[in-house]
Amino acid sequence: MTDATQSPQLPGRQCQAFQARREAAVALGVANGPPVFAERAAGATLTDLDGHDFIDFAGGIGTLNVGHAHPEVVAAVRAQAERYLHTCFNIVMYPGYIELAEALIDLVPGDWPKKVMLQTTGAEAVENAIKVARRATGRQAVVAFENAFHGRTYMALSLTAKAPAYKSGFGPFANEVYRAPFPVRYRSGLTDEACARAAFEQFRRLVESEITPGQVAAVIIEPIQGEGGFHVAPPAFLQSLREYCSRYGIVLIADEIQSGFCRSGEWFATQHAGVQADLYTLAKSMGAGLPIAALVGRADLMDAPAVGGLGGTYGGNPLACAAALAAIQVMRRDDYAARARDVGGRVRARFEAWSRRYGIVGDVRGLGAMVAFEVVRDPTGHEPAGDLAAHIVQAAYQGGLILVKAGFHGNVIRFLAPLCIGADELGRGLDILERAVAQAQDLADARAARAA
């Protein structure tokens, strides 16, 4: 086994061979990062087919809070696989579905009776949240936000706000979807409080001038935007949304698919604002790497669809339920929310030091271990530099680190490493990332010198 930091000849022969096969067999529209093909993974380390080790700061885009192949999750899946793989809960029920629903009812915020529906993907959870909200309210309009990402199925894609990458050529989309500004502080010149007030006033004006509150079924928001660039909704903004939705009977949906399960330093990011949404969409790290999602919320809303109105062949698959139950047990026992605060504090300190040292490192933002920095052309103009961010990702890969970008311009480097990562491994990963940032800074300086 060789460390990628000692072997700049990447990709290796086996990964090159599979990359050629991938290009011949897999649709062009399926995006990939650097040509890494996994042979095995554990914790926060991944080994490719050529024996190169990588520290994983992407975590399957936030699906691996408990790490790759956590032994307790693997054991739970193995034990379930020996009993049965699938029955379809709509046809033959099984204890794991009920046990997971009960666990989620206990975890998810809400001072009211709650019920659960399990699905396979986050996009399915979003689709069903909109169905439930429309059925329960008898209304049609849905308000989403700028920079939002809610999935790639048609209702979810209609709510998503990144047309060049995800929506071009796929229309028409679902109607009665309206979009409000998200309170983005960076580049606004406003404080969090002023930004929250301004964004809420724009939201209120949109609803009352273009829709009317009585026609709005739901407002859906990511408390921390994922693909949109790790923008954090100020507590005051979420609190104002909660009060407004309560006043007009609008269903408030919190999309916690990426921010949930301790990533933000709390079990769910809405807890930072003391806000309880009516419905929560959950997925990603709930299954520790297995595909499972959930819609959790007020029982009166969840019971609005008639029998047969909700369902899906693989929703709450027994193997995925076993994985989720094991992952939740690990996160509870080992206080993963505290882990996220510790890991995130270390990462944020390094990112903020870089923002003082390197002109291309702009805004540093996030909560807990859901943190990121923007890559910009210069520290004053704040112009997004997606090409420099791509250079950082490539240089990090050559150094033995897996990264994932975000943001409309692809210029946000986000941190989504497993929360089980050790201090030494975290430090080595951050060192690799800093070297990549320094290389990108040198590149930016050289370009500026040539242009002068």
The answer to whether residues 224 and 232 touch, using CB atoms and an 8 Å cutoff, is yes
CA distance 301 to 261: 23
Closest CA to 204 of 138, 154, 250: 250
CA distance 422 to 432: 15
Whole-number pLDDT of residue 99: 98
pTM of the model: 0.96
3-state secondary structure of 291: coil
Q: Per residue in 115-145, pLDDT tens? A: 999 999 999 999 999 999 999 999 999 999 9
Whole-number pLDDT of residue 8: 55
Q: Which band of pLDDT confidence, cut at 50, 70 and 90, is reported for residue 349?
A: very high
If one compares 360 and 379, the residue with the highest pLDDT of the two is: 360
Query: For the structural domain made of 71-333, what CATH number should be given?
Result: 3.40.640.10
Q: Which band of pLDDT confidence, cut at 50, 70 and 90, is reported for residue 189?
A: confident
Query: For the structural domain made of 2-62+336-451, what CATH number should be given?
Result: 3.90.1150.10
Q: Per residue in 6-53, pLDDT tens? A: 455 799 999 999 999 999 999 999 999 999 999 999 999 999 999 999
Based on DSSP, count helices (H) and strands (E) in the chain, helices before strands: 13, 16
For the chain, percent of residues with pLDDT exceeding 70: 98
Of the ranges 143-152, 351-360, 378-387, which one carries the lowest mean pLDDT score? Answer: 378-387
Domain spans of the chain, in order of start: 2-62+336-451, 71-333
Instruction: Read off the pLDDT of each residue in 331-355 and give the average, rounded to a whole number.
Output: 98
Instruction: Read off the pLDDT of each residue in 184-188 and give the average, rounded to a whole number.
Output: 92
Q: Answer whether residue 79 shows pLDDT above 70.
A: yes
The answer to whether residues 146 and 206 touch, using CB atoms and an 8 Å cutoff, is no
Q: Answer whether residue 4 shows pLDDT above 70.
A: no
Instruction: Read off the pLDDT of each residue in 58-83 and give the average, rounded to a whole number.
Output: 98
Whole-number pLDDT of residue 6: 47
Q: Which band of pLDDT confidence, cut at 50, 70 and 90, is reported for residue 1?
A: very low
b/e per residue 431-451 (b: at least 16 CB within 10 A): ebbbbbbbbbbebbeeeeeee
19's tokens: 């990359």
CA distance 260 to 291: 15
